[in-house]
Amino acid sequence: LEKPISVCIASGERILQAQPPEKVLMVAENAQYWREVLLVQRLIHQGQLGDLLSVRAKCWESAHPALNEWAADGSYDAGSFIADAAEGFVFDSGLHWLRPLRMFLGKAVRVSAVAGRSLLQMRGPSMTQALICF
């Protein structure tokens, strides 16, 4: 399923109850199947990249039609983004990079982060910077 799993607890519970026991329910955790993520994970685990001192993950979504194909046809609406809920773009797209980082580096033990609204027409935070220690 894509996030959010449900709009309320009651419907989320119904989704879980309907889940066949032999199936795995996943929410927004598809990065572990991306070819490029699997390749990097294999290279790291085989030691072919040496000791990792730093890893950078960048997730960028254009908020202007001149920079984004899906908005270039004139259908762009300044108030309509992939993430139009209060959580904003950070929740909608940025979290997809946490899974590969965990796959590469293990469990996060410390996080220092800040979020802000660089795109005022977008609901919720439109940018985040985080230092994550693994």
Least confident of 1-5, 12-16, 80-84: 80-84
Cα-only R_g, the chain:
18
How far is the CA of 63 from the CAs of 97, 123, 126, 128, in angstroms? 19, 12, 10, 15
**pLDDT higher than threshold 80 for residue 118:** no
Say how far apart CA 20 and CA 78 lie, in whole Å.
41
According to the model, what pLDDT value does residue 88 have?
Answer: 64
Q: Which residue did the predictor score with more confidence, 112 or 4? A: 112
- Give the percent of the chain with pLDDT over 70: 69
According to the model, what pLDDT value does residue 35 have?
Answer: 94
Amino acid residing at 79: G
pLDDT digits (tens, 9 = 90+) for 97-110: 888 999 999 999 99
Where do we find the tokens 């935070």? 125
pLDDT digits (tens, 9 = 90+) for 40-86: 999 999 999 999 888 888 776 555 555 555 445 555 455 555 455 55
